[in-house]
Amino acid sequence: MEINYIPEAVIRRLPGYYRYLERLEKAGEVRISSAKMSQDLGLNASQIRRDLNYFGGFGQQGYGYSVEGLKGEIAHILGLDRRYNAVIMGAGNIGRALMGYNRFASMGFDIVGVFDNNLQKIDGSGVQNVSRLLELAEVMDIQIGMICTSPCSAQETADLLVNIGVKGIWNFTSVSLDVPEDIPVQNVNLNDSLFELCFRMNNLNAKITESETI
Amino acid sequence: MEINYIPEAVIRRLPGYYRYLERLEKAGEVRISSAKMSQDLGLNASQIRRDLNYFGGFGQQGYGYSVEGLKGEIAHILGLDRRYNAVIMGAGNIGRALMGYNRFASMGFDIVGVFDNNLQKIDGSGVQNVSRLLELAEVMDIQIGMICTSPCSAQETADLLVNIGVKGIWNFTSVSLDVPEDIPVQNVNLNDSLFELCFRMNNLNAKITESETI
DNA sequence: TAGATTGTTAATCGATTAACAATC
DNA sequence: TAGATTGTTAATCGATTAACAATC
Protein backbone atom coordinates (compact mmCIF):
# COMPACT_ATOMS: atom_id res chain seq x y z
CA MET A 1 0.00 0.00 0.00
CA GLU A 2 1.35 3.36 -0.94
CA ILE A 3 -0.02 6.84 -1.18
CA ASN A 4 -0.99 7.61 -4.74
CA TYR A 5 -1.57 11.32 -4.78
CA ILE A 6 -1.45 13.09 -8.13
CA PRO A 7 0.23 16.50 -7.87
CA GLU A 8 -1.74 19.44 -9.21
CA ALA A 9 1.12 20.33 -11.54
CA VAL A 10 0.86 16.90 -13.16
CA ILE A 11 -2.90 17.20 -13.64
CA ARG A 12 -2.46 20.52 -15.42
CA ARG A 13 -0.02 18.96 -17.89
CA LEU A 14 -2.23 15.99 -18.82
CA PRO A 15 -4.42 17.77 -21.40
CA GLY A 16 -1.28 19.01 -23.12
CA TYR A 17 0.08 15.49 -23.40
CA TYR A 18 -3.21 14.33 -24.83
CA ARG A 19 -3.36 17.12 -27.39
CA TYR A 20 0.22 16.40 -28.43
CA LEU A 21 -0.41 12.67 -28.84
CA GLU A 22 -3.50 13.33 -30.93
CA ARG A 23 -1.37 15.45 -33.23
CA LEU A 24 1.31 12.76 -33.48
CA GLU A 25 -1.28 10.11 -34.25
CA LYS A 26 -2.81 12.25 -36.99
CA ALA A 27 0.68 12.73 -38.42
CA GLY A 28 1.00 8.96 -38.58
CA GLU A 29 3.64 8.59 -35.86
CA VAL A 30 3.70 5.16 -34.25
CA ARG A 31 6.28 5.47 -31.47
CA ILE A 32 7.55 8.37 -29.38
CA SER A 33 10.33 8.77 -26.85
CA SER A 34 10.34 11.05 -23.82
CA ALA A 35 13.36 12.79 -25.36
CA LYS A 36 11.38 13.76 -28.48
CA MET A 37 8.35 14.77 -26.40
CA SER A 38 10.70 16.88 -24.32
CA GLN A 39 11.90 18.76 -27.41
CA ASP A 40 8.43 19.30 -28.81
CA LEU A 41 6.68 20.25 -25.58
CA GLY A 42 9.49 22.20 -23.93
CA LEU A 43 9.34 20.03 -20.83
CA ASN A 44 12.10 18.04 -19.17
CA ALA A 45 12.20 14.39 -20.29
CA SER A 46 12.51 13.11 -16.73
CA GLN A 47 9.45 15.09 -15.81
CA ILE A 48 7.43 13.59 -18.63
CA ARG A 49 8.40 10.03 -17.66
CA ARG A 50 7.71 10.78 -14.01
CA ASP A 51 4.31 12.34 -14.83
CA LEU A 52 3.25 9.31 -16.86
CA ASN A 53 4.46 6.92 -14.18
CA TYR A 54 2.03 8.31 -11.65
CA PHE A 55 -0.56 6.39 -13.65
CA GLY A 56 1.36 3.36 -14.85
CA GLY A 57 4.36 2.11 -16.77
CA PHE A 58 3.12 2.78 -20.26
CA GLY A 59 6.50 2.70 -21.98
CA GLN A 60 8.96 0.05 -22.96
CA GLN A 61 12.69 0.32 -22.31
CA GLY A 62 14.71 0.71 -25.46
CA TYR A 63 11.59 1.57 -27.49
CA GLY A 64 9.68 4.43 -25.94
CA TYR A 65 5.91 4.74 -25.95
CA SER A 66 3.34 3.61 -28.48
CA VAL A 67 1.60 6.78 -29.68
CA GLU A 68 -1.76 5.08 -30.02
CA GLY A 69 -1.38 3.20 -26.74
CA LEU A 70 -0.29 6.22 -24.72
CA LYS A 71 -3.00 8.40 -26.21
CA GLY A 72 -5.54 5.78 -25.18
CA GLU A 73 -4.16 5.59 -21.66
CA ILE A 74 -4.29 9.35 -21.21
CA ALA A 75 -7.79 9.49 -22.71
CA HIS A 76 -8.79 6.94 -20.08
CA ILE A 77 -7.04 8.84 -17.27
CA LEU A 78 -8.83 12.07 -18.27
CA GLY A 79 -12.13 10.25 -18.68
CA LEU A 80 -12.33 10.99 -22.39
CA ASP A 81 -13.16 7.39 -23.27
CA ARG A 82 -16.80 7.98 -22.36
CA ARG A 83 -19.51 10.51 -23.21
CA TYR A 84 -21.00 13.34 -21.16
CA ASN A 85 -24.28 15.21 -21.32
CA ALA A 86 -23.85 18.92 -20.68
CA VAL A 87 -26.07 21.98 -20.37
CA ILE A 88 -25.11 25.57 -21.07
CA MET A 89 -26.54 28.00 -18.53
CA GLY A 90 -26.81 31.53 -19.89
CA ALA A 91 -27.08 32.50 -23.55
CA GLY A 92 -24.93 35.63 -23.49
CA ASN A 93 -21.72 36.11 -25.42
CA ILE A 94 -19.89 33.11 -23.97
CA GLY A 95 -22.93 30.84 -23.81
CA ARG A 96 -23.66 31.42 -27.47
CA ALA A 97 -20.00 30.89 -28.38
CA LEU A 98 -20.09 27.50 -26.64
CA MET A 99 -23.41 26.75 -28.33
CA GLY A 100 -21.84 27.41 -31.70
CA TYR A 101 -18.74 25.34 -31.04
CA ASN A 102 -19.29 22.27 -33.16
CA ARG A 103 -16.46 20.08 -31.90
CA PHE A 104 -17.93 19.23 -28.50
CA ALA A 105 -19.72 16.16 -29.83
CA SER A 106 -16.61 14.70 -31.43
CA MET A 107 -14.79 15.11 -28.11
CA GLY A 108 -17.55 13.24 -26.28
CA PHE A 109 -19.64 16.12 -24.94
CA ASP A 110 -23.29 16.30 -25.96
CA ILE A 111 -24.84 19.71 -25.37
CA VAL A 112 -28.37 18.65 -24.47
CA GLY A 113 -29.75 22.06 -23.60
CA VAL A 114 -29.10 25.79 -23.42
CA PHE A 115 -30.98 27.79 -20.79
CA ASP A 116 -31.52 31.44 -19.97
CA ASN A 117 -33.84 33.43 -17.75
CA ASN A 118 -34.06 36.34 -20.15
CA LEU A 119 -37.14 35.80 -22.31
CA GLN A 120 -35.64 37.90 -25.12
CA LYS A 121 -32.93 35.30 -25.59
CA ILE A 122 -35.41 32.45 -25.82
CA ASP A 123 -36.00 32.82 -29.52
CA GLY A 124 -35.90 30.27 -32.30
CA SER A 125 -32.26 29.43 -31.61
CA GLY A 126 -32.99 26.61 -29.22
CA VAL A 127 -32.48 28.50 -25.98
CA GLN A 128 -35.00 27.44 -23.37
CA ASN A 129 -36.38 29.03 -20.24
CA VAL A 130 -34.33 27.98 -17.24
CA SER A 131 -37.51 26.73 -15.58
CA ARG A 132 -37.55 23.87 -18.07
CA LEU A 133 -34.21 22.48 -16.89
CA LEU A 134 -35.94 20.35 -14.25
CA GLU A 135 -38.07 18.58 -16.88
CA LEU A 136 -35.00 17.83 -18.94
CA ALA A 137 -33.09 16.56 -15.91
CA GLU A 138 -35.90 14.11 -15.19
CA VAL A 139 -35.50 12.32 -18.49
CA MET A 140 -31.76 12.72 -18.94
CA ASP A 141 -28.64 12.31 -16.90
CA ILE A 142 -26.80 15.62 -17.04
CA GLN A 143 -23.20 15.33 -15.90
CA ILE A 144 -21.79 18.76 -16.68
CA GLY A 145 -23.14 22.27 -16.17
CA MET A 146 -21.46 25.14 -17.97
CA ILE A 147 -22.17 28.44 -16.22
CA CYS A 148 -22.09 31.49 -18.51
CA THR A 149 -24.60 33.64 -16.67
CA SER A 150 -24.12 37.11 -15.26
CA PRO A 151 -22.16 37.10 -11.99
CA CYS A 152 -25.27 37.81 -9.94
CA SER A 153 -26.99 34.63 -11.17
CA ALA A 154 -23.92 32.42 -10.90
CA GLN A 155 -24.40 31.01 -7.40
CA GLU A 156 -28.12 30.29 -7.81
CA THR A 157 -27.38 28.60 -11.12
CA ALA A 158 -24.72 26.48 -9.41
CA ASP A 159 -27.24 25.53 -6.71
CA LEU A 160 -29.74 24.51 -9.37
CA LEU A 161 -27.14 22.41 -11.19
CA VAL A 162 -26.16 20.70 -7.94
CA ASN A 163 -29.84 19.97 -7.31
CA ILE A 164 -30.29 18.25 -10.65
CA GLY A 165 -27.21 16.15 -9.91
CA VAL A 166 -24.44 17.37 -12.18
CA LYS A 167 -21.03 15.83 -11.46
CA GLY A 168 -18.93 18.84 -12.46
CA ILE A 169 -19.21 22.55 -13.22
CA TRP A 170 -17.38 24.55 -15.87
CA ASN A 171 -17.58 28.10 -14.55
CA PHE A 172 -17.05 31.06 -16.87
CA THR A 173 -18.09 33.69 -14.33
CA SER A 174 -15.56 35.25 -11.97
CA VAL A 175 -17.69 34.25 -9.00
CA SER A 176 -16.13 31.77 -6.59
CA LEU A 177 -18.86 29.14 -6.38
CA ASP A 178 -19.90 27.40 -3.18
CA VAL A 179 -20.77 23.77 -4.01
CA PRO A 180 -20.39 20.39 -2.24
CA GLU A 181 -16.77 19.31 -2.24
CA ASP A 182 -17.43 16.19 -4.30
CA ILE A 183 -18.41 18.38 -7.27
CA PRO A 184 -15.36 19.81 -8.99
CA VAL A 185 -15.57 23.35 -10.35
CA GLN A 186 -13.25 24.30 -13.18
CA ASN A 187 -12.97 28.07 -13.47
CA VAL A 188 -12.24 29.92 -16.70
CA ASN A 189 -11.52 33.51 -15.87
CA LEU A 190 -10.90 35.45 -19.04
CA ASN A 191 -10.39 38.77 -17.28
CA ASP A 192 -7.69 37.26 -15.09
CA SER A 193 -6.01 35.82 -18.15
CA LEU A 194 -5.99 39.20 -19.90
CA PHE A 195 -4.63 40.89 -16.76
CA GLU A 196 -1.84 38.32 -16.59
CA LEU A 197 -0.97 39.15 -20.19
CA CYS A 198 -0.81 42.83 -19.25
CA PHE A 199 1.51 42.06 -16.38
CA ARG A 200 3.87 40.21 -18.68
CA MET A 201 3.74 43.00 -21.28
CA ASN A 202 4.73 45.53 -18.64
CA ASN A 203 7.29 43.53 -16.70
CA LEU A 204 9.51 41.98 -19.35
CA ASN A 205 12.64 43.49 -17.85
CA ALA A 206 11.60 43.00 -14.27
CA LYS A 207 12.77 39.43 -13.94
CA ILE A 208 16.12 40.65 -12.67
CA THR A 209 16.34 44.25 -11.58
CA GLU A 210 18.41 46.29 -9.24
CA SER A 211 16.75 47.36 -6.08
CA GLU A 212 17.97 49.22 -3.03
CA THR A 213 18.78 47.17 0.01
CA ILE A 214 18.47 49.44 2.99
CA MET B 1 21.48 45.15 -5.28
CA GLU B 2 19.40 42.03 -5.03
CA ILE B 3 17.72 39.68 -7.43
CA ASN B 4 14.12 40.62 -7.85
CA TYR B 5 12.57 37.71 -9.65
CA ILE B 6 8.81 37.30 -9.44
CA PRO B 7 7.78 33.64 -9.13
CA GLU B 8 5.24 32.41 -11.67
CA ALA B 9 2.94 31.31 -8.86
CA VAL B 10 2.83 34.87 -7.55
CA ILE B 11 2.03 36.30 -10.98
CA ARG B 12 -0.91 33.93 -11.33
CA ARG B 13 -2.37 35.12 -8.03
CA LEU B 14 -2.17 38.83 -8.81
CA PRO B 15 -5.39 39.10 -10.86
CA GLY B 16 -7.26 37.37 -8.04
CA TYR B 17 -6.01 39.93 -5.52
CA TYR B 18 -7.05 42.72 -7.83
CA ARG B 19 -10.53 41.30 -8.35
CA TYR B 20 -10.94 40.84 -4.60
CA LEU B 21 -9.85 44.39 -3.80
CA GLU B 22 -12.22 45.80 -6.40
CA ARG B 23 -15.03 43.93 -4.69
CA LEU B 24 -14.00 45.22 -1.25
CA GLU B 25 -13.80 48.76 -2.54
CA LYS B 26 -17.27 48.52 -4.07
CA ALA B 27 -18.54 47.20 -0.74
CA GLY B 28 -17.15 50.33 0.89
CA GLU B 29 -14.33 48.63 2.83
CA VAL B 30 -11.48 50.96 3.72
CA ARG B 31 -8.91 48.69 5.34
CA ILE B 32 -8.08 45.01 5.06
CA SER B 33 -5.73 42.67 6.90
CA SER B 34 -3.90 39.69 5.46
CA ALA B 35 -5.81 37.52 7.96
CA LYS B 36 -9.18 38.57 6.49
CA MET B 37 -7.91 38.23 2.93
CA SER B 38 -6.70 34.76 3.88
CA GLN B 39 -10.20 33.76 5.00
CA ASP B 40 -11.92 35.19 1.96
CA LEU B 41 -9.48 33.97 -0.67
CA GLY B 42 -8.57 30.62 0.88
CA LEU B 43 -4.87 31.45 0.79
CA ASN B 44 -2.36 31.45 3.63
CA ALA B 45 -1.92 34.89 5.23
CA SER B 46 1.88 34.61 5.17
CA GLN B 47 1.72 33.85 1.50
CA ILE B 48 -0.39 36.92 0.79
CA ARG B 49 2.00 39.20 2.69
CA ARG B 50 4.98 37.60 0.99
CA ASP B 51 3.37 37.93 -2.45
CA LEU B 52 2.67 41.64 -1.95
CA ASN B 53 6.15 42.25 -0.60
CA TYR B 54 7.75 41.17 -3.85
CA PHE B 55 6.51 44.53 -5.10
CA GLY B 56 6.79 46.74 -2.06
CA GLY B 57 5.75 47.29 1.53
CA PHE B 58 2.20 48.39 0.94
CA GLY B 59 0.89 47.70 4.43
CA GLN B 60 1.24 49.27 7.81
CA GLN B 61 1.99 47.33 10.98
CA GLY B 62 -0.94 47.26 13.36
CA TYR B 63 -3.32 48.50 10.68
CA GLY B 64 -3.20 46.32 7.60
CA TYR B 65 -3.58 47.56 4.05
CA SER B 66 -5.62 50.42 2.65
CA VAL B 67 -8.11 48.86 0.23
CA GLU B 68 -7.96 51.76 -2.18
CA GLY B 69 -4.19 52.08 -1.91
CA LEU B 70 -3.48 48.39 -2.38
CA LYS B 71 -5.90 48.14 -5.28
CA GLY B 72 -4.09 51.04 -6.92
CA GLU B 73 -0.70 49.42 -6.36
CA ILE B 74 -1.82 46.13 -7.88
CA ALA B 75 -3.48 47.93 -10.79
CA HIS B 76 -0.11 49.59 -11.40
CA ILE B 77 1.80 46.30 -11.09
CA LEU B 78 -0.53 44.63 -13.60
CA GLY B 79 -0.39 47.65 -15.90
CA LEU B 80 -4.11 48.37 -15.52
CA ASP B 81 -3.51 52.07 -14.87
CA ARG B 82 -3.15 52.73 -18.59
CA ARG B 83 -5.14 51.96 -21.74
CA TYR B 84 -4.51 49.44 -24.51
CA ASN B 85 -5.63 49.23 -28.13
CA ALA B 86 -6.51 45.69 -29.16
CA VAL B 87 -7.61 43.87 -32.30
CA ILE B 88 -9.63 40.68 -32.51
CA MET B 89 -8.38 38.32 -35.20
CA GLY B 90 -11.06 35.90 -36.36
CA ALA B 91 -14.82 36.43 -36.14
CA GLY B 92 -15.86 32.90 -35.28
CA ASN B 93 -17.59 31.88 -32.09
CA ILE B 94 -14.95 33.18 -29.71
CA GLY B 95 -14.10 36.26 -31.73
CA ARG B 96 -17.72 37.34 -31.80
CA ALA B 97 -18.09 36.63 -28.08
CA LEU B 98 -15.14 38.95 -27.37
CA MET B 99 -16.62 41.50 -29.78
CA GLY B 100 -19.86 41.47 -27.83
CA TYR B 101 -18.21 41.77 -24.43
CA ASN B 102 -18.95 45.32 -23.41
CA ARG B 103 -16.71 45.59 -20.35
CA PHE B 104 -13.37 45.73 -22.13
CA ALA B 105 -13.47 49.52 -22.44
CA SER B 106 -14.14 50.05 -18.74
CA MET B 107 -11.15 47.84 -17.94
CA GLY B 108 -8.91 49.91 -20.23
CA PHE B 109 -9.00 47.83 -23.41
CA ASP B 110 -10.24 49.50 -26.59
CA ILE B 111 -11.18 47.03 -29.30
CA VAL B 112 -10.16 49.04 -32.35
CA GLY B 113 -10.83 46.39 -34.98
CA VAL B 114 -12.12 42.90 -35.72
CA PHE B 115 -10.65 41.06 -38.69
CA ASP B 116 -11.40 37.89 -40.61
CA ASN B 117 -10.33 36.38 -43.90
CA ASN B 118 -13.70 34.81 -44.58
CA LEU B 119 -15.69 37.23 -46.72
CA GLN B 120 -18.98 35.82 -45.46
CA LYS B 121 -18.18 37.11 -41.99
CA ILE B 122 -17.43 40.61 -43.24
CA ASP B 123 -21.01 41.79 -43.10
CA GLY B 124 -22.50 44.86 -41.54
CA SER B 125 -21.30 43.91 -38.07
CA GLY B 126 -18.01 45.78 -38.27
CA VAL B 127 -15.78 42.85 -39.16
CA GLN B 128 -13.14 43.87 -41.68
CA ASN B 129 -11.03 41.98 -44.16
CA VAL B 130 -7.73 41.03 -42.59
CA SER B 131 -5.90 42.78 -45.42
CA ARG B 132 -7.04 46.09 -43.94
CA LEU B 133 -5.17 45.53 -40.67
CA LEU B 134 -2.03 47.10 -42.10
CA GLU B 135 -3.87 50.36 -42.84
CA LEU B 136 -5.23 50.50 -39.34
CA ALA B 137 -1.82 49.75 -37.83
CA GLU B 138 -0.38 52.71 -39.70
CA VAL B 139 -2.62 55.20 -38.01
CA MET B 140 -2.97 53.52 -34.63
CA ASP B 141 -0.71 51.92 -32.09
CA ILE B 142 -2.06 48.41 -31.52
CA GLN B 143 -0.66 46.83 -28.37
CA ILE B 144 -2.66 43.62 -28.10
CA GLY B 145 -3.69 41.00 -30.65
CA MET B 146 -6.38 38.50 -29.69
CA ILE B 147 -6.14 35.39 -31.88
CA CYS B 148 -9.46 33.58 -32.34
CA THR B 149 -8.81 32.11 -35.77
CA SER B 150 -8.88 28.49 -36.83
CA PRO B 151 -5.76 26.58 -35.77
CA CYS B 152 -4.40 26.53 -39.30
CA SER B 153 -4.36 30.36 -39.51
CA ALA B 154 -3.02 30.90 -36.00
CA GLN B 155 0.73 31.09 -36.72
CA GLU B 156 0.39 33.33 -39.77
CA THR B 157 -1.91 35.59 -37.78
CA ALA B 158 0.68 35.74 -35.01
CA ASP B 159 3.37 36.63 -37.58
CA LEU B 160 1.18 39.42 -38.91
CA LEU B 161 0.54 40.78 -35.43
CA VAL B 162 4.25 40.71 -34.65
CA ASN B 163 4.87 42.61 -37.89
CA ILE B 164 2.48 45.40 -36.99
CA GLY B 165 4.21 45.69 -33.61
CA VAL B 166 1.83 44.30 -31.01
CA LYS B 167 3.33 44.01 -27.53
CA GLY B 168 1.36 40.95 -26.44
CA ILE B 169 -0.85 38.18 -27.79
CA TRP B 170 -3.94 36.64 -26.23
CA ASN B 171 -4.18 33.25 -27.92
CA PHE B 172 -7.46 31.33 -27.94
CA THR B 173 -6.26 28.65 -30.35
CA SER B 174 -4.57 25.51 -29.09
CA VAL B 175 -1.60 26.19 -31.36
CA SER B 176 1.71 26.83 -29.61
CA LEU B 177 2.78 30.10 -31.24
CA ASP B 178 6.33 30.88 -32.28
CA VAL B 179 6.97 34.59 -31.64
CA PRO B 180 9.96 36.70 -30.52
CA GLU B 181 10.65 36.17 -26.83
CA ASP B 182 9.97 39.78 -25.92
CA ILE B 183 6.32 39.34 -26.93
CA PRO B 184 4.38 37.49 -24.25
CA VAL B 185 1.70 35.04 -25.36
CA GLN B 186 -1.11 34.27 -22.96
CA ASN B 187 -2.86 31.05 -23.93
CA VAL B 188 -6.52 30.32 -23.19
CA ASN B 189 -7.16 26.69 -23.96
CA LEU B 190 -10.80 25.90 -23.37
CA ASN B 191 -10.49 22.25 -24.43
CA ASP B 192 -7.70 21.71 -21.93
CA SER B 193 -9.81 23.31 -19.23
CA LEU B 194 -12.76 21.03 -19.99
CA PHE B 195 -10.48 17.98 -20.02
CA GLU B 196 -9.11 18.97 -16.64
CA LEU B 197 -12.67 19.16 -15.33
CA CYS B 198 -13.28 15.65 -16.65
CA PHE B 199 -10.18 14.38 -14.89
CA ARG B 200 -11.39 15.80 -11.61
CA MET B 201 -14.90 14.38 -12.13
CA ASN B 202 -13.44 10.92 -12.66
CA ASN B 203 -10.70 10.93 -10.04
CA LEU B 204 -12.36 12.26 -6.93
CA ASN B 205 -11.36 9.21 -4.92
CA ALA B 206 -7.95 8.85 -6.48
CA LYS B 207 -6.18 11.32 -4.23
CA ILE B 208 -5.27 8.53 -1.85
CA THR B 209 -5.73 5.00 -3.06
CA GLU B 210 -4.29 1.64 -2.32
CA SER B 211 -1.96 0.25 -4.86
CA GLU B 212 0.12 -2.88 -5.00
CA THR B 213 3.78 -2.57 -4.24
CA ILE B 214 5.56 -5.43 -5.89
C1' DT C 1 1.53 52.39 26.17
C1' DA C 2 -0.80 47.95 24.68
C1' DG C 3 -2.65 45.65 20.86
C1' DA C 4 -2.53 44.56 16.24
C1' DT C 5 -0.55 43.37 12.13
C1' DT C 6 3.06 43.79 8.94
C1' DG C 7 7.59 42.36 6.82
C1' DT C 8 10.90 38.86 6.83
C1' DT C 9 13.53 34.88 8.28
C1' DA C 10 13.99 30.05 8.86
C1' DA C 11 11.74 25.60 8.37
C1' DT C 12 8.95 22.78 5.73
C1' DC C 13 6.93 20.99 1.93
C1' DG C 14 6.40 19.85 -2.87
C1' DA C 15 7.99 19.78 -7.65
C1' DT C 16 11.72 19.41 -10.92
C1' DT C 17 15.79 17.45 -12.68
C1' DA C 18 20.03 14.62 -13.14
C1' DA C 19 21.70 10.26 -13.04
C1' DC C 20 21.69 5.49 -13.69
C1' DA C 21 20.28 0.68 -13.00
C1' DA C 22 16.84 -2.12 -15.16
C1' DT C 23 15.41 -4.07 -19.24
C1' DC C 24 13.39 -4.30 -23.81
C1' DT D 1 24.33 -9.07 -27.97
C1' DA D 2 24.66 -3.87 -28.18
C1' DG D 3 22.02 0.16 -28.18
C1' DA D 4 18.30 2.65 -26.65
C1' DT D 5 15.18 4.28 -23.51
C1' DT D 6 12.33 3.60 -19.65
C1' DG D 7 11.27 3.69 -14.56
C1' DT D 8 12.93 5.30 -10.34
C1' DT D 9 16.05 7.14 -6.89
C1' DA D 10 18.53 10.84 -4.91
C1' DA D 11 19.74 15.69 -5.32
C1' DT D 12 18.27 20.12 -6.32
C1' DC D 13 15.39 23.76 -6.72
C1' DG D 14 11.41 26.60 -5.76
C1' DA D 15 7.18 27.65 -3.26
C1' DT D 16 4.59 27.61 1.00
C1' DT D 17 4.06 28.22 5.76
C1' DA D 18 5.07 29.08 10.70
C1' DA D 19 7.04 32.07 13.70
C1' DC D 20 8.37 36.33 15.49
C1' DA D 21 10.87 40.74 15.70
C1' DA D 22 9.78 45.25 14.01
C1' DT D 23 6.72 48.87 14.28
C1' DC D 24 2.52 51.43 13.55
Residue nearest the C1' of D14 (CA based): B7
B34 CB below 7 A from strand C atoms: yes
Distance A146 CA to C3 C1' (A): 48
Q: Is B69 exposed, middle or buried (0-12, 13-18, 19+ CB in 10 A)?
A: middle
Quickly state the pLDDT bin for B82 (edges 50, 70, 90).
very high
Whole-number pLDDT of residue A3? 38
Q: What is the DSSP string of chain A?
A: -------HHHHHHHHHHHHHHHHHHHTT--EE-HHHHHHHHTS-HHHHHHHHHTT----BTTTBEEHHHHHHHHHHHHT-SS-EEEEEE--SHHHHHHHH-TTHHHHTEEEEEEEES-GGG-STTSEEEGGGHHHHHHHS---EEEE-S-HHHHHHHHHHHHHTT-SEEEE-SSS-----TTS-EEE--HHHHHHHHHHHHH-TT-SS------
Tens-digit pLDDT profile for residues B136-168: 999 999 999 999 999 999 999 999 999 999 999
Tens-digit pLDDT profile for residues B103-119: 999 999 999 999 999 87
Q: Is A92 exposed, middle or buried (0-12, 13-18, 19+ CB in 10 A)?
A: middle
Report chain D positions within 7 A of protein CB atoms: 2-9, 14-19, 22-24
Whole-number pLDDT of residue B146? 98
A45 CB below 7 A from strand D atoms: yes
Which stretches in chain A have pLDDT values below 50? 1-3, 207-214
Whole-number pLDDT of residue B76? 97
| pTM, two decimal places | 0.93
- Cα–Cα distance measured from residue A89 to residue A153, given in angstroms and rounded to the nearest whole number: 10
3 state SS of B149: coil
Element of type H or E holding B169: strand B168-171
* The residue count for chain A: 214
Whole-number pLDDT of residue A205? 53
Burial B31-64 (b: 16+ CB within 10 A, else e): bbbbebbbeebebeeebbbebbeebeebbeeeeb
Q: Which of A184, A196, A201 sits opposite B200 (nearest CB)?
A: A184
Question: What's the rounded mean pLDDT across residues B159-180?
Answer: 97
Whole-number pLDDT of residue A106? 97
